[in-house]
A and B are shown apart, each in its own frame.
Chain A
Amino acid sequence: MTLRRVVVTGLGALTPIGNDVSTYWNNLAAGVSGAGPITKFDASKFRTQFACELKGVDVTQYIPRQEARKMDAFTHYALIATDEAVKDANIDLETIDRNKVGVIWGSGIGGLRSFEDEMIDYAKGDGTPRINPFFIVRMIADSASGQISMRYGFRGTNYVTVSACASTNNAIIDAFNYIRLGRLNMCVVGGSEAAVTRAGIGGFNANRALSERNSDPQGASRPYDKERDGFVLGEGAGSLILEDLDHAQARGAHIYAELIGGGMSSDAYHITAPHPEGLGAYLAMQDALNDAGIQPGEIDYINTHGTSTPIGDPQELKAIYQLFGDHSFQMNISSTKSMTGHLLGAAGAVEAIASIKALEHQLVPPTINLVNVDEEIDSRFNLTPLTAQARPLTTVMSNAFGFGGHNAIVIFRKLS
C-alpha cells in the first residue's frame, strides 16, 4: 500500500523563554536563557535552587477557573499550547471530520504537584483519608489528551505516551504512523510537563541529574561545555498539528514542514545511564534515516538531546559520529536545552518546534554557555556555540532519549 505523506500545519508553544511560538523562536535565535531562582516552592534546603520556570502565564485566560482547578498544571500547559496550535492551523471545526482527528500527547510524569499536595495534606491529618474526588483525574498523565479532545470534539485515537524524556517523540511517531496508514487525517501531538515541584527537584537531585550551579542559574545549562554539571529542569508544553498532506492541501493549510521519518530503539542497558558507546542512540537515528529513506549526508542539522549532563552529552555525539562519519562535522548540531532547560516529557515537543522553525528561518539556534568544549568531545563538531548560525537547511533531525533507555528520533524536511 502507498503510505500517505504527513505534514505539520500548526504550532503552539508555552516555554520558559516564551509563551507563544514567535516569542519562543525569537529568544531561541537570540540565545536567551530561561533559568532563574525557583519561585514555585521554598527551595532553600534543596541542592538545586533554580529551574527554567514559565513566566507570567494566566491560566484563567484560557480555561475557566472552576475547570482549571480540576486539572494539574501539566494539563493547563497542554491546553494553552494546543489553543495556539489549533488556531495556527486554522482548523474549521465545523467542516472537518473530527472523528478522524486524534490526540496523542506525551508526558513523562503527569500531575506530580497534584500528587504531592494531596499526600502532604493527608499526612497532616489523623490518617482518615479525605482525598479530593478530582485527585486522580488531576494526576493521571492521560488527562492532558482527554481534556484536549473534550475541548475540540476530536474523537479519533486518544492516549498519552510515557517514555520519560522521549515521550513526545514517541507521540509524534505514533501519530505519524496512524496518519500514514490512513487511520487519522489529523492529529494533535505534543507534550507537557510541570515537574518543578519539591518531588521533581528533590528526586532529580537525589539521583544527581541536576546542575547545582546555584550562583549562576543562567549559565547552568551548558551542554558540551567542560564545566557542565547536570541538566536544568524546565517546564511547559509544545503542541503540533500533524496532517495528511492531501488533507492539508485540500483545505489550503499553511504547511511548515513534512515529517519524513521516525526512529526508535532501546538501550537495554541501564535505567538511568545511557549506553557508553551510544548504541541505542545510534540504532534509533539509523532507524529514523531508514524510515525516511534518506542518506546520512542529507541531514543538515541535529537538535540533540544534549541535556548538559557529564555522561550523556559525549555519548550522543559518539553515536552521531559512528552513524554520520565525517558528515558529522559538516552539519550543525545544537542543544536548545541550553536555553529552555530540560522539559522532560515535553522536551521532544518544544525541540520539534525549534527544528521546524529553524527550517522556516534557515537559522540554527545556538548552544548557549558553550565556552570551552569538553576535551572528551571531538573539536571538529560544529556545536553552534553561543550564537545562532544562518545556513541553508533542508532536512533536520530532533533527538530524544529517556530514563529507561528509550530513544526516539524524528526527521522533518522542507516540503518539496
Chain B
Amino acid sequence: MSEIAQKVKSIIVEKLGVEESEVTPEASFTNDLGADSLDTVELIMEFEKEFNQSIPDDEAEKILTVGQAIDFLEKNAGQAGK
C-alpha cells in the first residue's frame, strides 16, 4: 500500500471512528462507513490539509469511496499548493 493510501486510511479511521479493516477501497463513506454530509466535508478538508492539495468542489463531489480518494490524491501528488 502506498504511503498516501496508508495516510488516507488513518484519517478515515480517526475521523469516522471505524475499524481499519472496514476501510476497503470499495467502501463508500456514506453507505458503508456511516459518514453524513458534514463528515464527508470534513474528510475532504483533512485530505487537503494532510497532502497540501486543494480539492475543488466539483472534484470533491466525485470522491465517494476510499479508493476514489486515494486515486485522486495519488494522481495529484507532487502538485502541492496548486
Which A residues form the contact surface with B (CB < 8 A)? 64-67, 130, 132-134, 137
Between A and B, 17 residue pairs with Cβ closer than 8 Å are: A64-B17, A65-B17, A66-B15, A66-B17, A67-B17, A130-B45, A130-B48, A130-B49, A132-B45, A133-B38, A133-B39, A133-B41, A133-B42, A133-B45, A134-B38, A134-B42, A137-B38
Provide the bound-state CA to CA distance between A66 and B19, in Å.
12
The answer on a CB contact under 8 Å between A66 and B41 is no
Q: Which residues of B contact A130 (CB under 8 A)?
A: 45, 48-49
Q: Please report the C-alpha to C-alpha distance between residue A298 and residue B49 in the assembled complex, in whole angstroms.
A: 64
Most chain A beta-carbon contacts within 10 A, residue among B15, B17, B48: B17
CA distance A66 to B45 in the complex (A): 17
A132 to B40, CA, bound (A): 11
Bound form: Cα–Cα A66–B43 in Å: 13
Q: Which residues of B are interface residues toward A (Cβ below 8 A)?
A: 15-17, 38-39, 41-42, 45, 48-49
Known: A130-B49, A133-B38. 12 other contacts (CB 8 A): A65-B17, A66-B16, A66-B17, A67-B17, A130-B48, A132-B42, A132-B45, A133-B42, A133-B45, A134-B38, A134-B42, A137-B38
Q: How far is the CB of B11 from chain A (nearest CB, A)?
A: 13
List 7 tightest A-B contacts by C-beta distance, closest first: A66-B17, A133-B41, A133-B38, A133-B42, A65-B17, A130-B45, A134-B38
Interface Cβ pair total, 8 Å cutoff: 19
Closest B residue to A130 using CB positions? B45
Interface of A: prevailing SS: loop
Task: Give every chain B residue within 8 A of A64 (Cβ-Cβ).
Answer: 17
Bound together, the chains give a CA A349 to CA B16 distance in angstroms of: 34
In the bound complex, how far is the Cα of B17 from the Cα of A133, in angstroms?
17
Q: How far is the CB of B54 from chain A (nearest CB, A)?
A: 9
- For residue A188, give the distance in angstroms from its CB to the closest CB of chain B: 25
Contacts of A137 in B (CB 8 A): 38
Residues of B contacting A132 in the complex (Cβ-Cβ under 8 angstroms): 42, 45
Q: Give A337 to B14 CA distance when docked, in angstroms.
A: 39
CA distance A134 to B43 in the complex (A): 12
Q: How far is the CB of B75 from chain A (nearest CB, A)?
A: 22
Cα A64 to Cα B38 in complex, Å, equals 17
Q: How far is the CB of B7 from chain A (nearest CB, A)?
A: 18
Q: Distance in Å from the Cβ of A59 to the closest Cβ of chain B?
A: 14
Residue of A whose beta carbon sits closest to that of B43:
A133
Nearest residue in B to A65 (C-beta to C-beta)?
A: B17
* Residues of chain A contacted by B17 (CB below 8 angstroms): 64-67
Chain B min CB distance to A71 (Å): 13
Determine the distance from Cα of A132 to Cα of B41 in the docked complex, in whole angstroms: 8
Considering only CB atoms, which chain A residue lies closest to B41 in the complex?
Answer: A133
CB closest residue in chain B, given A64: B17
Cα A130 to Cα B38 in complex, Å, equals: 14
Q: Which chain B residue shows the least CB distance to A128?
A: B54
Q: Write out the residue numbers on chain B whose beta carbons fall within 8 Å of the beta carbon of A67.
A: 17
Residues on B with C-beta less than 8 A from A66 are 15-17
- In the complex, residue of chain B having the shortest beta-carbon distance to the beta carbon of A66: B17
Residues on B with beta carbons closer than 8 Å to the beta carbon of A134: 38, 42
| A65 CB contacts on chain B under 8 angstroms | 17
Considering the chains assembled together, what is the distance between the CA atoms of A130 and B49 in angstroms? 9
Distance between Cα atoms of A130 and B54 in the complex (Å) = 11
Contacts of B41 in A (CB 8 A): 133
Interface hub of A65, A66, A134, A137 (most chain B Cβ within 10 A): A66
Bound CA–CA A134/B16 (angstroms): 13
CA distance A137 to B38 in the complex (A): 11
Residue of B with least CB distance to A132: B42
